[in-house]
Amino acid sequence: MPKVAAELSALAVKRLRHPGGKGNHVVAVGGVSGLLLQITESNSTSWILRTLVGGRRRQIGLGGYPDVTLAQARERAREAKDAIRRGIDPVEERKAARAALRAARERLTFEGAVERFLAAKLDGLKNAKHRAQWRSTLDAHAIPVLGKLPIEDIGVHGILRVLEPIWREKRETASRLRGRIERVLAWATVAGHRKGENPAIWRGNLDQLLPKKGMAAAVQHHPALALTDAAPWFAALRQRNGTAARGVEFLTLTAARSGEVRGATWEEIDLDAATWIVPAARMKTAREHRVPLTPPVLALLSGLPRFPGNPLVFPAPRGGQMSDMTLSAVLRRMQEAETKEGRKGWLDPRSGRPAVPHGLRSTFRDWAAERTSYPGEMAELALAHRVGSEVERAYRRGDMFERRREMMADWTGFLGAAE
């Protein structure tokens, strides 16, 4: 029988050092057969599991020490062996996950879809003026907003961001632009680059959000929660399971945009400093945004699983970035659960429509204005809105970060998150 390694304690593992000489040194730590601590000549350490998979010897990395503790390494080793007994090769599974992540990063963007669509369709337009208009309207209005987004992640809110600024003043241009975006997205669906309904269609979709021809040009607000509903709604949200529900919880507590949350990576978050820094490339304003993280948010993040090779905080089930519709579905199901019980549910007090994720930012803004004495400028900074004129912004050096930390702590308290 093979010799069984003595089961080392956490203190004994902490004291292990390279004995000298060339090459890496490995020490069996016991508890799980084949579990070793690998020590380099510079005394950096990592966990490996040596085992057989289908008759082949495998060496499986389990993470670095001390980031992965002895107890965690033993648990990971047991999980890997359980997977092997079920016929799964952990090494190949990890390779597949990395490949899926690379594929997700290389997903076709809206700008790329436009290029491929136009290459196929422009030659079919006999009128040179029409060909130029197709290109110019998309380049002027759609590409700056949607260009870098994966084509499969574009939803209704993204389409509205393109159309709303020109819908009132340039209705004809906006209408044609909407139709062109619809055709690009339809091509992408047929070509296999996205699934689901086309968010740019008019009937039964955008016609419910944008004013029709001849109607008064009224601002279309996203349905928000009434302040009196905020705490009970948040309590109901916390009862729901799943990554998407936790994403909505994080979105609510930080007053962030959906895209900022869906694209958040662990690298952007400093748990020790209780700060989330969203880089300029991911911000609507194209400026870096600092978000103070309150204790409830830190507790939420600490309870989330981390997946090897996947940097996303709230990944989709297949490893890529979850869609805007996935977050919206959480609120939709919450509303359905309420109406099924005979209650009115979570409705916007002005429009009477069910609340949506982006409307939660309006709820935060209403709270700051009606229930607190915090200056409006601070709330606008928390929402990452541009505040003041270009000259005022040029002279403003701070972002009221520590004062915003106090405000966000009060916000979490209002929601009942601190209880």
- 144 in a domain, yes or no? yes
Whether 180 and 302 share a structural domain? no
Please provide the average confidence, as pLDDT, over all residues in the chain. Answer: 86
Give me the torsion for CA of 104, 257, 116, 164, rounded to 10°. Answer: 170
Whether 281 and 410 share a structural domain? yes
How many angstroms separate the CA atoms of 79 and 7, rounded? 18
- 166 in a domain, yes or no? yes
Whether 385 and 263 share a structural domain? yes
Cα three-residue angle 152-322-104, rounded to 5 degrees: 60
Low-confidence ranges of the chain (pLDDT < 70): 1-4, 97-106, 122-131, 213-220, 387-398, 419
How many angstroms separate the CA atoms of 254 and 325, rounded? 19
The residue written with tokens 């919880």 in the block is 249
Look up residue 418 and give its two tokens. Answer: 């601190």
Give tens-digit pLDDT for 7-26: 899 898 899 898 888 888 88
Whether 47 and 114 share a structural domain? no
Give tens-digit pLDDT for 242-297: 999 999 999 999 999 999 999 999 999 999 999 999 998 888 877 899 999 999 99
Whether 290 and 408 share a structural domain? yes
Whether the ω angle into residue 349 lies within 30 degrees of 0, i.e. cis, is no
Whether 171 and 46 share a structural domain? no
Whether 33 and 116 share a structural domain? no
CB atoms within 10 A of CB 170: 15
* Residue 316: predicted pLDDT: 92
The residue written with tokens 């979709």 in the block is 205
* Residue 390: predicted pLDDT: 46
Of 44, 176, 185, the closest CA to residue 110 belongs to 185
CATH number of 182's domain: 1.10.150.130
* Residue 211: predicted pLDDT: 83
Whether 287 and 366 share a structural domain? yes
Domain boundary among 176, 208, 240: 208
Query: Does the model's pTM come out above 0.85?
Result: no
- 316 in a domain, yes or no? yes
Number of separate domains in the chain: 3
* Residue 196: predicted pLDDT: 84
- 2 in a domain, yes or no? no
CATH number of 341's domain: 1.10.443.10
Domain boundary among 58, 88, 118: 88
Whether 202 and 247 share a structural domain? no
Whether 43 and 180 share a structural domain? no
CA distances to 51, 294, 325, 401 from 185, rounded to whole Å, are 48, 39, 16, 40
Domain boundary among 149, 179, 208: 208
Q: Residue 251 is part of which domain span? A: 227-415
How many angstroms separate the CA atoms of 76 and 87, rounded? 17
Whether 343 and 251 share a structural domain? yes
Whether 194 and 276 share a structural domain? no
CATH number of 50's domain: 3.30.160.390
* Residue 122: predicted pLDDT: 66
